[in-house]
Structure 1
Amino acid sequence: MTSALNRLQPLNGNNMKLKTLLLFVALIQSVVSMAQQDWKGDYTRAKQVYQLQKYEIAMEYFLPVTSPDAANPYASYAQYYYSLSAYKAGKYNEARQMLLQLINRDPNWKQISEAHYLLAGVYFELKQYRFGMTSLTFVQGMESSVTTFRQSYYAKIAPLDTLIKLQRVYSSDKELAKALFNQLAAYPVNSKNNMLYEYLAQEFKFTKLNRTVTYVTKTEYHVAVILPFNLSESNSENYKSGYAYEMYQGILTAVDSLKEDGVTIKIHTYDADRDVMKIQAILNYPEMKGMDLIIGPLFPSLIPYVTNFGELNNIPVINPISFNSNIIENKTQTLLFQPTLESIAGQVSSFAKEKFVYRKNSSKDNDLKPKNNVLIFYSTELKDSLLAVYYRDSLQVKGFKVSKFVKVTKENIGTVGKIFSDSISLLTTSHVFVASGEPVLASNIVSALEISRQNVPVITKSDWLDINNQTYEQFERRNIYIIYPDYFAFYTDAYRSFKAAYIKKYNVYPSKYTIIGYELMSLVGDKMRTAGTGYFNLMRTSPVSKGHFTAGYDFSKKPCNNYVPIYYFSDLKLTLANPFDEK
């Protein structure tokens, strides 16, 4: 039997048409063949990239395979691994979005519990704890993993107030109660949450720690000051011009004043640069275990050695300048004299919630309608980026909506003016938060607000005060608020007297580091006078303490300064916007 193709061959006159038709059919078949996606191959290649731990690249490989094609049996798996890659790359929002899509699209997927488990981890990383705990309730057949998850993530919940609130809501969760119990155990027996500690011990049969401590009043207290004086690099008195020496002079000045008030403190000075072996040698000196306090060190590589030494020997350690919350994590004897970035974000967002929700941005505005939109701008510096993220998260918990979250670079700084040109959006804007001290960004924002003629408050860093092309008149007119923890009132009679005595003794003007040293040692000495060797616990439980020249300090909520002073200009003078109640 001859084929249809053979039967057509004799038709010589139609050979050209026949060849064209065959070529067309072949082309169609080729296109169809190419259109048939190789799902298995693409998924396998994506898994190979994931196994190489190239997680951001793996996300790009998995993304096409997440297509909900009826012929694609790997879509749900690709969605899961895309999310897992995003989680490991620290891209938690992308992971959350894809996992929610997976759970909604394929709720009966055979590994859906693993998706809920991963989503819970994502929520905890985003500090959206209640969503995370809800996700855990959907996890089936993974009891051991869920328990491990709870033990690990619950221990990281901060601040303490958040953990307390969660435990009240999920009061039957034993692992959550255990995490709270462990954190409360680090506080002294006279702390404000001691009753809660006792309740948890009784309700869940937890074993209480022996927290009985006997405090004594001493005739002389010993304080180790470990700072980078760089004495080995100087053959003259030039080292005395450094910030470490300025802080040290402030400490000595406070010691002199305290002695007049009946508190004697002996300072032991140690020079520590970045040399780990040197700090280890210092900690091995026999006198170190007899210290009542260690101030410093300042370099991050040295800090863990000293804080661990303090924990082991029950000696308080105070870092005078760091904002890093990792230093105080899981520590009971360490204190940051400055607020952490998380504390700054939390306190400033609370201030904004109180002051900037019901207010007018223009004469046509209705201040009865709440303003919950916030614009956030931040620089490429790590510290600014972290502050912006913490502030965004803190705002969202308080019911704000972050309408713009912009990392400002040289390439996109022109978009700032466009954002402020939207007058309709500005009417619903509560405030602007700027985590950057860049002069160009500051000028752009102030100019844009001048043009808009809307009275939208701006909260920013104290770096703005050093910008030459911006005036205090502009800051006052444009409602600029300054986060300024280390501002000191240089115009008071008390400070003028201090400055005169300081210049007479050291022949230099006091710097901000001088004031930090002076305030730190003065506060410690004042508590020593009241509580003796129990001064550290008194600091941790006392309400806000007013500084000599600074706004104040509050260590009662967490082991860092939780009072964050915010200033604004009134009659061209910096004025405290959030004074604490001294009653």
Structure 2
Amino acid sequence: MILARNHQPPLSGNRRFIYLIIALVAAACSPKLQPVATQPVKKETEKSVVKTPPLKEVKPEAPKVSAIALLLPFGLDHLRQGAAYTAVSLREADIALDYYRGFKLALDSLTGLGYNFKLKVFDSKGEVAQAHSLGSNPAVRSSDLIIGPVFPDDMKAFTGAYANAKQPIVSPLSPAAPATFKNANLITVMPPLEYHAWTAARYISSKIKPKKVFILKSGYSDENDYITPFKKAIDSLGKKHIQVVALTVIHGQLSSLIPQLSVSDQNVFIVPATNQHFLTITLRALDSLSSSYPVTVFGHPSWINFSFLKADLLQRLNTIISTSDHIDYKAANMVTFARNYRDEYHIEPSAYAIKGFDEGMYFGQLAATDKLKNIPDNNFTGLHNDFQFQKKTGLGFINTHVNLYKYINFELKKVE
């Protein structure tokens, strides 16, 4: 999940691939349109009295070409003589290049099915000023579909300069709340945090049905982005029959909760924290409780990427984690994609390449079939997540699909 630049997960970027950017961008357009073979219309056979005038040859309509603008932070300025990529800009360029490769491979696949595209690639540079400038670029404005910019600040600057546009604008990788941008044409692909909270609440109210739910807080205000919608959801879905007990945990002290715990039913704990020190101590305390009380823990979606959280501990705690981008690398369709990607680019696909491919297949086909205005009617099963969009007044379209995973035999298995 990309909330801000300083929260990007480590990338396995290889600088030598950055120098492929210029060549790749130059080849951005999908394969050239194939001419449609036509045959002349034969004249009607002459009759004895009435002669039919010869029919004029009708030229077939030109195939529809969908123009797509791709705004990614390649940072090509860093390739100039005397310039150099920083660690941050190199990670951003890796994201851009991997996403571009996946997206382009998707359009190539659709072109093989008879669709036609004009892919226009722009360097957003990962800079607010550049994103704002692209908002007034005629080549961008004339596109049927706009993908990017990637980062929330850049998207805010871009939509601020593009407020009256009718073209749909896709936020491809950031789960930032759409209210941040307030653009009715925005399409948010990565479900915002509130939909993770609603998914957890729905599972708890329908499957576990506890009498109480305990929220363990670290004290950081950003946890309210999860806690507030969770409380609203559990009250709505549980019809206020499920009591919510919130506790700010200090040094792993959970003793005050013991009188409220059940020895027979599952004790459900919501832990929306992402701080390593807090999680290490608090989960250890919960592990101690689990020896005497049934425990089920629901964690923040970021947990799925935290290497310091060990599978054996999370399994003992019956941990369930919501995610919108877990990839099953053993699935048949994923194996096929990885093979095609290696054949094309001679490198393993990253998570960003996989997301680029999914979004290229989905939005490319919608653009080619004039269905971009009917997104909620067109669901999609991708390699990293499903797309199930809802239209929200003033906020555009939001993908609400979130999966729940649980550790079984020390591996994450889907439970919903």
How far did residue 540 of structure 1 move? 2.4
Q: Which residue number corresponds to residue 546 of structure 1?
A: 381
> Which residue in 2 is equivalent to 1:492?
331
Q: 1:431 aligns with which of 268, 276, 295?
A: 268
Paired with 1:320 and 1:451, the residues of 2 have a C-alpha distance of 41
Matched residue SS, 2:198: helix
1:510 aligned to 336, 343, 349, which one?
349
Give 1:468 shift. 4.5
Shift of 1:470: 4.4
Q: Which has the higher strand share?
A: 2
Matched, 1:455 2:307: no
The answer as to 2:310 corresponding to 1:475 is no
Aligned counterparts of 2:218 and 2:331: Cα–Cα separation in 1 = 35
What residue number does 1:564 align with?
A: 402
Superposed counterparts of 1:214-363, under 5 Å: 219-235=64-80, 239=90, 242-273=94-125, 275-307=127-159, 312-327=164-179, 330-357=182-209
Q: CA deviation at 1:256?
A: 1.5
Match of 2:246 in 1: 404
The answer to whether 1:464 aligns with 2:303 is: yes
Contact in 2 for aligned 1:442/1:464 (Cα 8 Å): no
Distance 1:472 1:293, change over 3 A: same
1:136-151 to 2 correspondence within 5 Å? none
Question: How far does residue 458 in structure 1 lie from its aligned partner after superposition?
Answer: 0.9
Give the Cα separation in 2 of the matches to 1:263 and 1:379: 51
**Aligned partners of 2:402, 2:131: CA distance in 1, in Å?**
32
Contact 1:222 1:265 in 2 (8 A): yes
1:225 and 1:294 in contact (8 A); partners too: yes
- Deviation of 1:299 after TM superposition, in Å, equals 3.3
Percent of residue pairs identical = 20
Tell me if the contact between 1:449 and 1:455 (Cα under 8 Å) persists in the aligned partners: no
Partners of 2:123 and 2:219 lie apart in 1 by 33
| Shift of residue 552, structure 1, vs aligned partner | 0.9
| 8 A Cα contact 1:374 1:429, kept in partner | no
Change (3 A) 1:491 1:349: same
Which is helix-richer, 1 or 2? 1
Distance of aligned partners of 1:528 and 1:466 in 2 relative to their CA distance in 1, 3 Å threshold = closer
CA contact (8 A) 2:71 2:147 kept: yes
8 Å CA contact 1:328–1:336 kept in 2: the answer is no
Q: Is contact 1:502–1:510 with CA below 8 Å preserved after alignment?
A: yes
Instruction: Tell whether the 8 Å contact from 2:323 to 2:404 is kept in structure 1 after alignment.
Output: yes
- Aligned equivalents of 2:217, 2:99: Cα separation in 1: 30
Specify the SS of the correspondent of 2:387: coil
The separation in 1 between residues aligned to 2:264 and 2:184, in whole angstroms, is 46
Instruction: Give the conservation status (yes or no) of the 8 Å contact 1:225–1:296.
Output: yes
Higher Rg of the two aligned structures = 1
Task: Report if aligned partners of 1:263, 1:528 keep a CA contact under 8 Å in 2.
Answer: no
Q: TM-score, normalised to structure 2's length? A: 0.72
Change (3 A) 1:478 1:280: closer
Q: How far 1:461 moved relative to its partner?
A: 2.6
User: What CA RMSD, in Å, does the superposition of the two structures yield over aligned residues?
Assistant: 3.0
- Aligned AA (2:356): G
Distance 2:183 2:366 in 1: 21
Mapped contact 2:196–2:323 kept (Cα < 8 A): no
Gap change, CA 1:260 and 1:274, over 3 Å in 2? closer
Per-residue deviation, 1:334: 0.9
TM-score after normalising by structure 1: 0.53
Distance 1:290 1:448 in 2: 57
Q: Structure 2 counterpart of 1:433, which letter?
A: I
Alignment check: 8 A CA contact 1:462 1:483 kept: yes
Q: Does the aligned pair in 2 maintain the 1:372–1:428 contact within 8 Å?
A: no
Note the alpha carbon deviations across 1:402-422, whole angstroms, 9 max, x for none. Answer: 21242x5xxx2332x435655
Structure 1, residues 468-497: CA drift from partner, whole Å, max 9, x if none? 554434333331101111111111122122
Q: Tell me how far apart the structure 2 counterparts of residues 419 and 269 of structure 1 sit (CA, whole Å).
A: 57
Distance 1:276 1:432 in 2: 40
TM-aligned CA deviation for residue 555 of structure 1: 0.3
Conserved 8 A contact 2:68-2:119: yes
* CA gap 1:422/1:288 in 2 versus in 1, 3 angstroms: same
* Letter of the structure 2 residue corresponding to residue 376 of structure 1: I
Distance (Å, rounded) in 1 between the aligned partners of 2:190 and 2:288: 37
- Residues 1:258 and 1:328: Cα distance change in structure 2 (over 3 Å): farther
2:363 aligned residue:
524
* Cα pair distance change 1:277/1:437, threshold 3 Å: closer
CA distance in 1, matches of 2:127, 2:309: 42
SS at match of 2:203: helix
Q: Which range moved further: 326-335 or 516-525?
A: 326-335
**Displacement, 1:526?**
2.9
Higher relative contact order (CA 8 A, sep 6+): 2
Distance 1:464 1:438 in 2: 10
How far 1:289 moved relative to its partner? 2.6
Q: Any idea what the Cα deviations from partners look like across 1:261-300, whole Å, max 9, x if unmatched?
A: 2222222111123544433432333322320111111333
Is the 8 Å Cα contact of residues 307 and 333 (structure 1) preserved in structure 2? no
Counterpart AA for 1:233: H
Q: Name the CA shift for 1:420/1:474 in 2 (closer, same or farther; >3 Å).
A: farther
Aligned CA distance change for structure 1 residues 518 and 310 (closer, same or farther; 3 Å): farther
Query: In structure 2, do the counterparts of structure 1 residues 308 and 470 end up closer, same or farther at CA, with 3 Å as the change threshold?
Result: closer
- CA-CA distance at 1:307 after TM superposition: 2.9
For 2:62 and 2:177, the matched residues in 1 are separated by 31
Name the CA distance, whole Å, in 1 between partners of 2:221 and 2:105: 35
Query: Which residues of structure 2 form unaligned runs of 5+?
Result: 1-60
Cα deviation, residue 380, structure 1: 5.3
Whole-angstrom CA distance in 1 between matches of 2:306 and 2:129 = 41
CA contact (8 A) 2:296 2:319 kept: yes
Distance between the aligned counterparts of 1:321 and 1:469, measured in 2?
Answer: 24
Equivalent residue pairs, number: 340
Structure 1: runs of 5+ lacking an equivalent: 1-215, 358-370, 579-583
| Separation (CA, whole Å) in 2 of partners of 1:258 and 1:346 | 35
